Each structure stands twice: as structure tokens, then as C-alpha cells.
Amino acid sequence: MEKTHTLAVSESDSSKRLDLYLSERLKDLSRTAVQELIRKGLVLVDGRKARPSHRTRTGEKITVTVPEAPPCEAEPEPIPLEILYEDDDILVINKPRGLTVHPGAGRRSGTLVNALLHHTGALSDVGGPLRPGIVHRLDKDTSGVLIVAKKNQSHLNLSRQFKEHSTTRRYHALVWGKVEDESGTVDIPIGRDVSDRKKISPRTRKARRAVTHYRVLRRYPGLTLLEVTPETGRTHQIRVHLAAIKHPVVGDPVYGKRVPPPVLPQPVRVAIKGLKGQLLHAYVLGIRHPVTGKYMEFSSGYPADMEGILRLLEASSVRT
């Protein structure tokens, strides 16, 4: 149903940008959503259209018309979910490898969104009709902890936490080669590759700051298990950064395809050759609950094939 909001600018809100003022007052709308409403002429200041950069003045009457949300284009599907936590505001799941997070070009079914719609009718719509509830993403072939928002206000709060880098995110990755240092930082700007738009790379015309920290958890002949903490949240960041330091993620079909070296035990080589995705797992996610403010931390175990390979390594080799 279409909604109309009427606001009167108080003295304390005078001289603010219009888009900022409205995103602060209308908690269910992000600043981007407000800007889109302004662009469409659905925001009037004293009866006239205005720019997002308009500076508010005391006593101005602002009318905001929010049209009825279009029906969601994704359909519910009975796809199993491993739920780690759920309340009225958030849902935390252990996303399996191979599951795409949301529908996109050429895909309308078989995604996490389809599964979420089947599980609950209460999801935020801040991200649009194809991304209900989706606050952040994991690559299709990355497994692990992912949080979903049920309400718009919760979605906006969580989005701010990710944007401000106040969340706790720890990934575990099995990578090729012996990582010499016990810990380190990769600080390499990345963006769309100049010659292959499907790839992310330091070879880009529009580089964005990207920082990844890592520390060694275990060493094996020819392989290293790392704990990885991304300081920023760029697309494919961990995979690209680890490949950039010559230690790509095992099983990565884009940035790290390699033939298992002879130094690996035969059962491990066979298991790695049979992988259907990279051994990168979102192990821990910590957030402040968007309503209570309480710090909450969630973790999930490795997928079966990653767990199996690590067990084989422990059983058949001496750590170095």
C-alpha cells in the first residue's frame, strides 16, 4: 500500500542535506532509497521538487510518497536451511557451498532467497524485490555463517555495522604452498579486471582499497590452513588477495586452479581433485543485535569435504 509521510523541519534539523535528513527520520528507508524517491519526484519541499543536496530550513513542510513495493520476483522453494539462530528481527544460517545467495541475471530459482521465502514471509525489502533480507553476501562456492534481516530497521542497522567494519568476521581457508610468516596483511587495491570483467584483480581501472589480515593455523606439506580477517568487504577480496601473494585457495576455479603436487598423500590429492568449490569457509560472524544492541557471535563447522581433507592431512602427514 502506498504511504505518504509529512514532516516539518525543526530548528535542530535545519541546514541538513535533504536525503540525509529523510533517511534519519524515516527509519525504514536507506539514503539510497530516499535519493531514488527524490529522483522520481516523490519528495516535495513546500510543494516543490528538490534535489538530494537541498539544505533544509526550519519550518519547511516535506512530503514523501512511498509507492507500494512491487511483488517479489523470486518464488518460495523448499530448499533446506541450516539455521543457527532466529528471532523476530534476524535469521542466521550456515550457507552451504554451491548455493547462490540471490536471484540475478539468468537465475530465478534455487537460491538462498528462494529458500528464505519458503521459510518465512517476514523479510526486509530494503535490498529490492530480488534480495529480500539480504544484508551481505558470500560467494556461491564459499560456505559459512550469513545473517539475514527480517525487518527494514534491522536491515539498515546491520548494513551500517558492515559499512563501519564493526562486525567480527573470521574465515578459514586452506591455501596452496607454505605461508612463511605466522601472520600478515595484504593491502592491495582491487576492482574489475581490465581484460576480464568477470574477474576481480589489482589490474583494474577503478581500484578500491582492500585490506585482508591473516594468520597461520596449521601447516602441512604443500598446504597451509589460514584464519583470514577481511578489514574491507570487496567482491572476491579474500580469494584475490591470497592469490596475489601466491597462496590461492585450494579448489578456487577462478583464481587458484592448480594440480595437487606429489608431496601430498594420494588420498588428499584424490579428494582435492574431486572438489566442487574452494575451501574457504566463513567460520565466525559477530554483530550487535540490531534491536537490543547485545553483541552476538555465531560460528559453524566446516563443510564435509573440507573437514575430510583436513582429517586426511592430520592422519597421513607430519605437520611442518
Average pLDDT over residues 118-147: 91
Q: What pLDDT score was predicted for residue 291?
A: 97
Q: Is residue 27 part of a domain?
A: yes
State yes or no: pLDDT of 66 exceeds 50.
yes
Please report, rounded to a whole number, the percentage of residues in the chain having pLDDT higher than 70: 96
Whether 139 is a known active-site residue: answer: yes
Q: Are residues 138 and 263 in the same domain?
A: no
Q: Are residues 226 and 244 in the same domain?
A: yes
Q: Are residues 177 and 269 in the same domain?
A: yes
- Total length of the chain: 320
Q: Are residues 181 and 290 in the same domain?
A: yes
Average pLDDT over residues 29-56: 93
Question: Which pLDDT band, with edges at 50, 70 and 90, does 33 fall under?
Answer: confident
Q: What pLDDT score was predicted for residue 105?
A: 60
Please report, rounded to a whole number, the percentage of residues in the chain having pLDDT higher than 90: 78
Q: Are residues 18 and 47 in the same domain?
A: yes
Q: Are residues 194 and 220 in the same domain?
A: yes
State yes or no: pLDDT of 164 exceeds 60.
yes
Q: Are residues 201 and 299 in the same domain?
A: yes
Residue type, position 109, single letter: S
Q: Is residue 34 part of a domain?
A: yes
Number of structural domains, the chain? 3
State yes or no: pLDDT of 319 exceeds 50.
no
In degrees, to the nearest 5, what angle opens at C-alpha 141 toward C-alphas 251 and 311?
50
State yes or no: pLDDT of 203 exceeds 50.
yes
Q: What's phi and psi for 90, nearest 5 deg?
A: -135, 160
CATH number at residue 13: 3.10.290.10
Strand partners, 160: none
Average pLDDT over residues 21-26: 92
Mean pLDDT of the chain: 92
Q: Is residue 287 part of a domain?
A: yes
Residue type, position 268, single letter: V
Q: What pLDDT score was predicted for residue 21?
A: 94
Catalytic residue among 19, 89, 125, 139: 139
CATH number at residue 113: 3.30.2350.10
State yes or no: pLDDT of 108 exceeds 90.
no
H-only helix segments in the chain:
18-25, 31-39, 112-119, 152-163, 237-244, 266-273, 304-316
CA distances in angstroms from 232 to 101, 145, 246, 266, 302, listed in the order given: 20, 17, 20, 38, 23
Q: Is residue 117 part of a domain?
A: yes
Q: Are residues 227 and 272 in the same domain?
A: yes
Domain that holds residue 265: 168-316
Q: Is residue 200 part of a domain?
A: yes
Please give the Cα distance from 276 to 15 (Å, whole number).
55
Question: Which pLDDT band, with edges at 50, 70 and 90, does 104 fall under?
Answer: confident
Q: Is residue 222 part of a domain?
A: yes
Q: Is residue 71 part of a domain?
A: no
Q: Is residue 182 part of a domain?
A: yes
State yes or no: pLDDT of 141 exceeds 50.
yes
Question: Which pLDDT band, with edges at 50, 70 and 90, does 320 fall under?
Answer: very low
